[in-house]
Amino acid sequence: DSGVTQTPKHLITATGQRVTLRCSPRSGDLSVYWYQQSLDQGLQFLIQYYNGEERAKGNILERFSAQQFPDLHSELNLSSLELGDSALYFCASSPQAGGSTDTQYFGPGTRLTVL
């Protein structure tokens, strides 16, 4: 158990809908990262938040957005869902913004199925 929690574990929804994925980082970790794992694209970095502020952006679509709250939990919002958005979404956390001793620890993931 990494200490990172994600809810829900599974999510099934229809095209065009909007969903919210939630992540609670390990106690004391200030950074949260979101990743998408799909069969064709592999593991892709979406976005990083550090202490409530956006820190780095990867291959995140404009239909997707995220935020990190004062209690450091984070939410990933996916809107206007398409079939291709079906994937496993991971959250990871690390103590800092990415320093010499920083290592990312992953949550169990949320499996999103878009029908």
Q: Which residues bind another protein (CB under 8 A)?
A: 2, 33, 42-45, 48, 55-56, 58, 88, 90, 92, 97-98, 100, 102-106, 108-109, 111
Q: At its nearest, how many Å lie between another protein and the CB of residue 19?
A: 18
Pairing, β 31-38 against β 42-50: antiparallel
Query: Which CB sits closer to another protein, 15 or 102?
Result: 102
Query: Which CB sits closer to another protein, 2 or 77?
Result: 2
**Distance of alpha carbon 39 from alpha carbon 101, whole angstroms:** 31
Residue 16, C-beta contacts closer than 8 angstroms, at least 6 positions apart: 80, 81
Beta bridge partners of 34: 47, 91
Torsion sign over Cα 3, 86, 98, 30: negative
Q: At its nearest, how many Å lie between another protein and the CB of residue 108?
A: 5
Q: At its nearest, how many Å lie between another protein and the CB of residue 78?
A: 19
Query: Which CB sits closer to another protein, 39 or 62?
Result: 39
Q: Show the DSSP H helices in 19-68 as ranges.
A: none
**Distance of alpha carbon 65 from alpha carbon 53, whole angstroms:** 13
Query: Which CB sits closer to another protein, 17 or 59?
Result: 59
Q: At its nearest, how many Å lie between another protein and the CB of residue 13?
A: 19
